[in-house]
Structure 1
Amino acid sequence: MSGRAPCYGAPMPSIKQFQVTFDCAEPERVARFWCEVLGYVVSPPKGFATWDEFDRTRPPEDQGSWFACNDPSGVGPRLFFQRVPEGKVVKNRVHLDVRVGTGLVGAERLAVLEAECTRLVALGAVRVELLADDYDACIVMQDIEGNEFCLD
């Protein structure tokens, strides 16, 4: 027995909110990139008006170590960015799918994905590859620190 609780059986409380955390070298820079990608806004830490105000309460070596942004509509998850000492060395085990072509197929879907890809490359993203067949397509990309995501 692994000691892990099963995903079935006795009812558990339902989780309604979660945040996605990015390990990165430059939290504010990566957060601002994702704000542009998703239309999110910077969200200051609880109890502070700004991240600068928060940083002034931290030791110098911790300043700039965290940043966050939220979906202004309150629908999407909060994104949290934390500085880590190591760089990214392997493929992500989890990635975001940025849903820009929902409901579209064929050439129409591909045109929307390509237009969004062009916009994101101008922000510093990197296009990795197009995965497509006659019906479906997605574009694998990397953010400004190499984290993979898909335009879907």
Structure 2
Amino acid sequence: MSSIRQFQVTFDCAQPERVARFWCEVLGYVAVSPPEGFATWDDYNLSLLPAERDSWFACTDPSGAGPRLYFQRVPEGKVAKNRVHLDVRVGTGLVGDERLATLQAECARLTELGAAHVRTLLADDENESCITMQDIEGNEFCLD
């Protein structure tokens, strides 16, 4: 029998701390503490060579239930649709108009944080409504 493995979700991005703090707001996560020996992230970054500063950031679920999110700076920008994306489960157990209203309210909250609404897929005979969005650097995610 195989064992269950813990994992983290890694985001390639231009501004790791900015994107991480956005996702903290989306998911209720918290930023990880700065590396051992440093009181703040600013202290840590100042200890690095200029080219290495602000190259990564991470956040975690304070309850310990969700995966760690890791954000790493990459030189290239986003050029294509994500092959993997997060579904933020804000409408679980809700159906019809109640579900759509909940998704739309969360969409409005996240838009104020800098996310972009891409499209709303309305319920049909097989699926409930969901909303496709982009984070502050254009990475797609869904409100489900």
**TM-score, structure 1 as length reference:** 0.87
Q: Give the C-alpha shift of residue 88 in structure 1.
A: 0.0
Aligned to 1:138: 130
Among 19, 43, 48, the alignment partner of 1:58 is: 48
Matched, 1:41 2:17: no
| 1:47-126 equivalences in 2 (<5 Å) | 47=36, 48-126=38-116
**Structure 1, residues 61-86: CA drift from partner, whole Å, max 9, x if none?**
01001011111111111111000000
**Structure 1, residues 97-134: CA drift from partner, whole Å, max 9, x if none?**
00000000000000000000000000000000011224
Unaligned runs of 5+ in 2: none
State the secondary structure of the residue aligned to 2:19. helix
State the secondary structure of the residue aligned to 1:149. strand
**AA in 2 matched with 1:84:** V
Among 17, 21, 31, the alignment partner of 1:32 is: 21
**AA in 1 matched with 2:57:** F
**AA in 2 matched with 1:37:** V
Aligned to 2:10: 21
Q: Give the C-alpha shift of residue 46 in structure 1.
A: 4.2
Q: Aligned residues: percent identity?
A: 70
State the secondary structure of the residue aligned to 1:144. coil
**AA in 2 matched with 1:141:** M
CA contact (8 A) 1:130 1:137 kept: yes
**AA in 2 matched with 1:150:** C
Cα root mean square deviation, aligned = 1.3
CA contact (8 A) 1:27 1:65 kept: yes
Count matched residues. Answer: 141
CA contact (8 A) 2:8 2:68 kept: yes
**AA in 2 matched with 1:81:** F
